[in-house]
């Protein structure tokens, strides 16, 4: 059947936009081990970042965020800030694994992990982890100088988006995970939610935002723990 001119223009515009290369997706693809695929939810996130100009280009690399950095910095007071969770997406790949693991150059580590975000100002990072079963999970690697969190953050990419939409200051501090944002009695920074990002996650994926991180992070584990039920914590012991 015929379609109206307006619908045709909208269709062509969508086609044209989807054909435009997404620089952040290309950057990530370039550093990913050959056995990994970028989850569709992460591709959608990177398109959201591009569409909303939530990126900083520096030294030939594009860094993505969830809230405009200039607005976030300008909103800071001694009591809090706007902008929800602060996280920086960048193509870390396997380059810095040597700083985390004694055997960081080990071939298996290089094939099974891929850093894609900085989760904390002290240097903690999030990475894709290819499990023994061939599933792609998202894990946390604490910096060791601040956060010690080393575990599976999310069993899949959608749960990861739901986690970063909750609204914690940073997702590297597991002492906050049992509380909704700002409700930890020891909280020093009050963070206003990033409602635009929250609405995008719920509407784009037909999902809901959890009340606390423990709905997503099943077994928070720290690198100096004796033992843990967490699958990533168990897996990395042979490399530590």
Closest CA to 161 of 45, 74, 60: 45
CA dihedral 53, 22, 213, 80 (to 10 degrees): -20
179/183 Cα distance (integer angstroms): 6
pLDDT of residue 99: 85
pLDDT of residue 60: 94
| Helical segments of the chain, H only | 5-19, 23-31, 40-51, 69-75, 97-100, 107-112, 157-165, 195-205, 231-236
Q: pLDDT tens across 6-65, in order?
A: 665 656 665 555 546 899 999 999 999 999 999 999 999 999 999 999 999 999 999 999
**What mean pLDDT is reported for the chain?**
92
Structure tokens at 160: 């990861």
pLDDT of residue 188: 85
Burial 193-220 (b: 16+ CB within 10 A, else e): bbeebbebbeeeeeeebbebbeebbeeb
Q: Is the pLDDT of residue 237 over 80?
A: yes
Within 13 Å, how many C-alpha atoms sit on residue 153's CB side? 28
Write the burial class of residue 32 (CB in 10 Å: 0-12 exposed, 13-18 middle, 19+ buried): middle
Please provide residue 186's backbone torsions phi and psi, each rounded to the nearest 5 degrees: -90, 5
pLDDT of residue 48: 98
pLDDT band at 79 (very low <50, low <70, confident <90, very high): confident
Q: pLDDT tens across 97-106, in order?
A: 888 887 656 8
pLDDT of residue 189: 86
pLDDT band at 4 (very low <50, low <70, confident <90, very high): low
Write the burial class of residue 125 (CB in 10 Å: 0-12 exposed, 13-18 middle, 19+ buried): buried
Write the burial class of residue 135 (CB in 10 Å: 0-12 exposed, 13-18 middle, 19+ buried): exposed
Structure tokens at 67: 């809230």
pTM value is 0.90
pLDDT of residue 8: 59
Within 13 Å, how many C-alpha atoms sit on residue 149's CB side? 26
pLDDT of residue 240: 78
pLDDT of residue 20: 60
């Amino acid at each position: 059947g015929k379609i109206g001119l307006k619908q045709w223009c909208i269709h062509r515009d969508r086609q044209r936009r989807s054909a435009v290369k997404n620089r952040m997706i290309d950057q990530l693809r370039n550093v990913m081990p050959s056995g990994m695929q970028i989850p569709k939810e992460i591709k959608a996130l990177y398109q959201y970042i591009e569409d909303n100009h939530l990126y900083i280009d520096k030294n030939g690399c594009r860094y993505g965020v969830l809230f405009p950095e200039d607005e976030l910095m300008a909103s800071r007071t001694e009591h809090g800030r706007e902008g929800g969770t602060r996280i920086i997406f960048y193509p870390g790949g396997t380059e810095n694994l040597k700083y985390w693991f004694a055997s960081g150059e080990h071939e298996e580590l290089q094939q099974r992990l891929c850093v894609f975000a900085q989760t904390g100002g002290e240097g903690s990072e999030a990475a894709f982890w290819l499990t023994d079963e061939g599933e792609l999970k998202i894990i946390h690697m604490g910096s060791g100088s601040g956060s010690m969190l080393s575990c599976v953050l999310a069993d899949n990419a959608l749960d990861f988006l739901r986690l970063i939409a909750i609204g914690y200051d940073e997702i590297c501090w597991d002492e906050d995970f049992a509380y909704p944002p700002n409700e930890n009695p020891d909280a020093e920074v009050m963070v206003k939610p990033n409602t635009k990002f929250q609405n995008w996650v719920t509407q784009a994926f037909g999902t809901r935002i959890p009340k606390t991180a423990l709905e997503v992070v099943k077994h928070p584990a720290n690198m100096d723990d004796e033992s843990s039920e967490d699958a990533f914590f168990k897996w990395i012991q042979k490399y530590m």
